[in-house]
Amino acid sequence: MTGLTEKRITVTGGAGFLGARVVEKLRAAGAKEVFVPRSRDYDLTDMAAVKRLYSDAKPQVVIHLAAVVGGIGANRVNPGKFFYDNLMMGAQLMEEGRKAGVEKFAAIGTICAYPKFAPVPFKEDDLWNGYPEETNAPYGLAKKMLLVQAQAYRTQYGFNAIYLLPVNLYGPGDNFKHESSHVIPALIKKFVAAVQEGQKEAVVWGTGKATREFLYVDDCAQAVCLAAARYDKPEPVNIGAGFEITIKDLAGVIARLTGFTGKIVWDASKPDGQPRRMLDTSRAAAEFGFKAKTNFEEGLKKTIEWHKKAEK
């Protein structure tokens, strides 16, 4: 992370699941001036608050992690809010960053930006070859506009903005709220509760046929820091672990690790979301030397243990 440690760095979303890890890694590497704007102090959908943030923090580097996000259920209920809030945060932060003379802007996109039927593994060059999966599309497209803005600003203003596409994250500290959690915390919560209550069966959304790829949150934080330090090109970069697992197999692994031995019932009336997800991660390895290190089962065990302690 040479080159970042002497900079004034602002990390939006720096108190969140991924952001807290990024801030931790920056500080551990020796960065002394890392500013984390809190939403109660700076509403990043409001231009006046964004201007005030730049005036207060005077960042040389911005890592934009803040997002309004949730699982399939939350996306179905809040498509308008997810679109507007994410679009306005990104557009205003980058515009004001350009005006303020920020040296580097690292924008964090989402795998939801990929077309619904993108060939697996997803390659960055396939990003525009179709419309995203419908339940995620408003969120995915709002975050995808960061890429368009980054490339346009680089072309017109010479603004050094990069765009990263992380796969689904998991790990200790994940969001376990029933109404907005993603699949891993939702399954962990469900199976842990089923064991505690002695339930003989657990109902899971969808058919179980969809596939997903998961990246341990600390690995993703490492990738973000490496890219912020070393990557300066306009092309988007996938951040992932390079494997896929069906939701059915995932449920089986989590059931085993939580000690749930009952029946898993699939509710096919609920949506599966995107049919398959897995990233080609070769560009991240080639451009800034990132490769995921955390074994999937080990990461799941740590996440389950964290949740059990947090529930007490």
Q: Provide the pLDDT for residue 2.
A: 65
**Tokens coding 171:** 């790990």
pLDDT(113) > 70: yes
Residue 131: active-site member: no
Using alpha carbons, list the distances in angstroms from residue 179 to 66, 76, 274: 19, 11, 19
Q: Of the residues 54, 139, 153, 216, which is catalytic?
A: 139
Average model confidence (pLDDT) across the chain: 95
pLDDT(72) > 90: no
What domains does the chain contain, in order, with CATH numbers? 8-172+214-243+276-294 (3.40.50.720)
What is the length of the chain? 312
State what percent of residues in the chain have pLDDT above 70: 98
Tell me the pLDDT band of 274, cut-offs 50, 70 and 90. confident
| Cβ atoms 9, 35 nearer than 8 A | yes
What are phi and psi for residue 66, nearest 5 degrees?
A: -60, 135
Q: Provide the pLDDT for residue 1.
A: 63
pTM of the model: 0.94
Backbone CA torsion sign across 238, 241, 243, 248: negative
pLDDT(180) > 80: no
pLDDT(71) > 90: no
Tell me the pLDDT band of 182, cut-offs 50, 70 and 90. confident
Q: Provide the pLDDT for residue 179.
A: 74
